[in-house]
Amino acid sequence: MAIHGNTIDDSIDNTVLTSVTVDPAFVDEVRTGLQKTPKRLSSRFFYDAEGSRIFQAIMHAPEYYLTRSEYDILDTSKADLLQRFAPAGEDFELVELGAGDGLKTKLLLRYFAEQAADFAYAPVDISADALDELVADVRQQWPHLRLNPRHDDYFAALEQLAQESSARRVVLFLGSNVGNFAPDEAADFYRQLYDRLRPGDLVLTGFDLQKHPAIIHAAYNDRQGLTKAFNLNLLRRINRELDADFDLAAFDHYETYSPETGEARSYLVSQTAQMVQVRALNMTVLFQSGEIIHTEISRKFTRSQIEQLAQRSGFSVAGWFTDTKGYFADVLFAR
Residues binding ligand AVJ (CB under 6 A): 58, 66, 175-177, 179-180, 220, 227, 230, 296, 298
For ligand AVJ, which is the closer residue by CB, 169 or 265?
265
Alpha helices in the chain (DSSP H): 24-33, 49-59, 65-85, 103-114, 128-141, 154-164, 183-196, 213-219, 226-242, 303-313
For ligand AVJ, which is the closer residue by CB, 221 or 313?
221
For ligand AVJ, which is the closer residue by CB, 56 or 165?
56
- SS3 state of residue 283: strand
Distance CA 334, CA 10 (A): 50
For ligand AVJ, which is the closer residue by CB, 45 or 85?
45
State in angstroms the smallest separation of the CB of 66 from ligand AVJ.
6
Residue 115 main-chain phi, psi, to 5 deg: -85, 5
For ligand AVJ, which is the closer residue by CB, 220 or 301?
220
State in angstroms the smallest separation of the CB of 227 from ligand AVJ.
5
Preceding peptide of 38 cis, ω within 30°: yes
For ligand AVJ, which is the closer residue by CB, 175 or 262?
175
Who's near 234: CB < 8 A, 6+ residues apart?
Answer: 41, 45, 46, 51, 268, 295
CB 6 within 8 A of CB 21: yes
Distance CA 130, CA 98 (A): 9
State in angstroms the smallest separation of the CB of 291 from ligand AVJ.
21
- DSSP letter for 48, please: S
State in angstroms the smallest separation of the CB of 230 from ligand AVJ.
6
Backbone Cα Rg of the chain: 21
State in angstroms the smallest separation of the CB of 58 from ligand AVJ.
5
